[in-house]
Amino acid sequence: MSALSIFFAALYYLATAIFVVGLALKIRQYALTPAPLKIPLTPAPLTRAGVGWRLTRELVFFQSLFRASKWTWVFSWVFHVALLLVLFHHVRFTLEEIWSPIGLIPLYGNYASVAMLVGLAGLWARRFLVDRVRYISTPSDHLMLALLMAIGLTGLGMNLYTDVDILAVKAFMFGLMHLSILPLPTEPLLLLHMFLVALLMIIFPISKLLHAPGLFFSPTRNMSDNPREARHLASWAAKLDK
């Protein structure tokens, strides 16, 4: 077995462990953080069902972003939808039998990659062209966008300009899932792409990309506007109230 295959196998085991454990710890932290005040962003729903519908609109349609900035919403929504298609496209490397909906995605995989890059480019340009956004942008914001852009470019370049043995890549990923290390193709763009993806998995739990699960724990979004109908008590205050 080559040292390269062993290195990438160890890297992906490490990245997966950090991603899963780090994400679980962060979600636990979000869930245990008390919300002592009733602070839903108005106009807010009055019932839990309404809260669920509000979160669905935020998750699927980015409703508040649409109201705040139409251009930002366009680039952000295009990026996230294209990213979802790209992720489904990669699911085929972990399935023995490819489901028919996922089997259709490779036909549009390159278009989804281009759309993802266009969305990223628009979001990155916003950090240079909009004064108030440029003022609050930090080096980590630019580095995260650069990492996502590099992942997209290497993946698209690999599809268009190289002849990677996809079956060997799939066999390598299946081997990892069954705790077996199989040979990995040595195409430079593939190796760079896989390294960048592993890097993203490692830094994801400590990055601003955690806004994805964080949406569900935001008190301005997940609270109903019923302070007159029901008294709100944080968990620690409820213990003192007994």
In a domain, 4, yes or no: no
| Residue-level pLDDT at 204 | 94
**Would the CA dihedral through 17, 87, 133, 41 be positive or negative?**
negative
Distance CA 198, CA 154 (A): 14
Per-residue pLDDT tens for 22-64? 999 999 999 888 888 788 888 888 888 999 999 999 999 999 9
List b or e across 190-228, with b for residues whose CB sees 16 or more CB atoms inside 10 angstroms. bbbbbbbbbebbbbbbeeeebeeeeeebbbebbbbbbee
Give the range of the structural domain holding residue 202, as residue numbers without chain letter: 43-241
Model confidence at 100, in pLDDT bands (50, 70, 90)? low
Alpha helices (H) in the chain, listed in sequence order: 3-32, 48-61, 63-68, 70-91, 100-104, 109-129, 131-136, 139-161, 166-177, 188-203, 211-214, 219-222, 235-241
Residues 106-155: pLDDT tens digits? 667 788 899 999 999 999 999 999 999 999 999 999 999 999 999 999 99
**pLDDT at residue 107, as a whole number:** 61
Q: Residue 40, preceding bond cis, omega within 30 degrees?
A: no
Residue 37's pLDDT is 79
Residue type present at position 140: S
Coil, strand, or helix at residue 150? helix
pLDDT at 115: 95
CA 28/CA 234 separation, integer angstroms: 16
Q: How many residues are present in the chain?
A: 242
78 within some domain: yes
Quote the pLDDT of residue 228: 76
Q: Range with the lowest mean pLDDT among 5-14, 90-99, 183-192? A: 90-99
Please count the other Cβ atoms lying within 10 Å of the Cβ belonging to residue 172: 22
Query: Tens digit of pLDDT for each residue in 160-201?
Result: 888 888 889 989 998 998 899 999 999 999 999 999 999 999
Q: Which residues contact 156 (CB under 8 A, 6 or more apart)?
A: 110, 113, 114, 117
Q: Is 16 within a domain?
A: no
Domain CATH number, residue 71: 1.20.950.20
Domain-located, residue 49: yes
Whether 8 is in a domain gets the answer no
Residue 227 placed within a domain:
yes
190 domain-assigned: yes
Any domain includes 7: no
Res 134: pLDDT: 94
Report the 10 Å Cβ neighbour count for 149.
17
pLDDT for the residue 15: 97
Q: How many domains does the chain have?
A: 1
Residue 229 predicted with pLDDT over 90 = no
The pLDDT, as a whole number, for residue 151 is: 96
